[in-house]
Amino acid sequence: MKKYALLFLTSFISLYGVAQTVQGGKVNTESAKLVAKLDTAKKQEGWTVRGTNVLLLNQAAFSNWVAGGINSVALTARADYEFNLKKGKNLWENRILMGYGLRSEEKSDATKVEDVIDLTSKYGYQIKQSNWFAAMALNLKTQFSKGYDYSKPAQSYISNFMAPGYITFGLGVDYIPNDNFQISIHPITSRFTFIGDKAVFDPDKDGVLTDAYGAKPGETFVYQLGAYLGGRYKAKLMENIFLDNRFGIFTNYLKDPQNMVLSYSAILDMKVNKFISTQLTADLFYDNNQIGKLQLKETLGVGLTYKFGKY
């Protein structure tokens, strides 16, 4: 468990250092320029609204190909919106992340390649004239539709909308020197795990009930009280290449605090032109109440991108 936590933090810190590396014999000053620009922007008050819509396509086709192959097509849609308000010492940040994708192979049923709903709302009150904010944060995370374990011959039914659904509410402080970097330290954090579909307790549909997501068969939610440490860093690595990565660590005071919940996600956006880009995403997740193993999801696709607002 500790090695996973170290891996997540190391990945985040390493990527933070990427923008400071030497490129072509010159120190990359993109971060410094952005900080200077954003320090000026911080004085401006009011709403900041921005969003990204992405439609990615992956496709493979074969005809009389002696080496073999299976015709397939995958389509993924993603939306990432931010609505932030700054007024005096008050800072209110809201983010909506949604994604859904399907893959279809010849002579096979469609399978999910992405399914996420991630909603966050944070309020902070600036402490004196510093970069520290007394903060509270609310997060909801779940998925749109039923999920299955496709690795088993008889696909196991393992998830659905709000099964599980996670609602987290935390109190603490945030360190926000600019719009590109922030750290959240919330020593008082409540985490609710909701089970809105009791079918997940019987994944193989054989009448044998099992625990699911830390809940006993028949339970509808599990409560945890603990501490949360999280962060986000955005960087322009080079012209038309942008990285947005974040991490989160939660430990439960009430039971097995050593079994931390770890999450890390990164989006690498490589812009071709105003409407076309290549996007690489990577997600790492560990929760002992799920499968007790490090989970990895990676996607790569080319598609249409539409952005609005200032980035």
Rounded distance between C-alpha atoms, residue 71 and residue 114, angstroms: 20
111 burial via Cβ count (<10 Å: 0-12, 13-18, 19+)? middle
pLDDT average per 10 residues of sequence, the chain (311 residues): 54 50 42 45 73 89 74 91 96 96 85 94 96 98 90 78 96 95 97 92 82 89 96 93 95 92 94 90 90 86 88 65
The pLDDT of residue 19 is 47
**CA dist., res. 147 & res. 280, Å (int):** 23
The pTM score is 0.83
Handedness of CA 33, 35, 38, 40 (dihedral sign): negative
Please give the pLDDT value at position 166. Answer: 96
Q: Determine how many CB atoms are found less than 10 A away from the CB of residue 94.
A: 16
The Cα-based distances of 82 to 45, 85, 96, 105, 309 in angstroms read 16, 10, 6, 35, 9
**pLDDT tens-digit map of 251-309:** 999 998 989 999 999 999 998 888 999 999 999 999 988 877 889 988 888 899 999 88
What does the pLDDT read at residue 27? 39
Residues 6+ apart with CB under 8 A from 94: 82, 83, 84, 120, 121, 122
* Per-residue confidence (pLDDT) for residue 10, from 0 to 100: 54
Radius of gyration from C-alpha coordinates of the chain? 21
